[in-house]
Amino acid sequence: MTRADPSEQKSTWRRVLGWLRERERLRATVPGAVAVGLLAYVISIAVSPRSGAQLWEIVRSTWWAVLLLTFPYLALRALVWRNLLEQLDIKVPARPMLVSFASGEMLKSVPAGVYVQNYLLARLEHFGPDDVARSYMATTAMLGLEAALAFPVALILGWPGRPSVRWALFGVVVAWTVALAVAWALVRYGARHLRPGAPGWVRAVVDFLEEFLEAGGRLISWKTLPNLLPTALYLIIYVIDIYLILHALGVHSVGALGMVNIYAVITLSNILVPIPTELGMTEFAGMTIVQAYGLPLSTAAVVVLSLRALATGATILLSVAILVLLRKQFRGF
């Protein structure tokens, strides 16, 4: 692997962080507008004479259960992230890890918000470029684990009334696989043929991308498989949230497998659709798949908006509590 010398890496790691911040800023602009548009559309569908009463009944009946379920949800997600970091030789104390994790969870619904945890961890622990790249891959790998579980579910159960969706889903996954393989080849080619006189920041960025992809290759191993269990458990918690919401509405026509499929489709829409935002995309995809199980469109919109309000609200509440308890970690930040 072609690498800048240690002194050059040490002097340019802040430029890498700046480059990442700029990429995230660009990634957030257009997706932010799309997210607001999709969310506004779902809200407009949800507005009906019955929606207010339905929303109140859901919140009144389920808020406490969703809040309690959010504790193990966050604990399992933190466990998976820590395991992946350690697998990539990044071992950090619990307090800065929790502060970074809570910040990412609090902002993960906004465009590129989940990667805030990597930026904060890098600042708190004074990471160099290679550690930054590996930490970003650990976060990205969590999405890969979720997709690995959600894809076969959605492929097997399909979309009610639309068997062609299975082939479309399969095609999207194949396209992503090819795109990632091409990106890997291009980065490796660029790293090996980079001109000796290239600016330091260009070399630092190329080295970052190469380290990021190589870290991904390291995670494609048997050691990563045990993380599928906690990943499945925290995904199931959201399925339980969906069950609680449907039960509060008196909907019994959607079976357990249907609820699992609903969240599998929501998960894949957030991962496979090349718009880096959960906000709006979750609501739109959720509304359409819930409607496919026979619910009126306005009721389907209320279901997903309730899921957003309750689950995301509980996540933000607990994340803020963690940050308040560990606020001393920000001293000297």
- Residue 295, pLDDT above cutoff 70: yes
Q: What percent of the chain has pLDDT over 70?
A: 85
Give the pLDDT confidence score for residue 1 in this predicted structure. Answer: 44
State pLDDT tens for residues 89-128: 999 999 999 999 999 999 888 777 788 899 899 988 888 8
pLDDT tier for residue 31 given thresholds of 50, 70 and 90: low
Domain spans of the chain? Answer: 6-330
State pLDDT tens for residues 201-231: 667 777 888 889 899 989 999 999 999 999 9
- Residue 2, pLDDT above cutoff 50: no
**CA proximity to 116, closest of 130, 104, 99:** 104
Give the pLDDT confidence score for residue 181 in this predicted structure. Answer: 87
Give the pLDDT confidence score for residue 149 in this predicted structure. Answer: 96
State pLDDT tens for residues 123-145: 888 888 789 899 999 999 999 99
Give the pLDDT confidence score for residue 22 in this predicted structure. Answer: 58
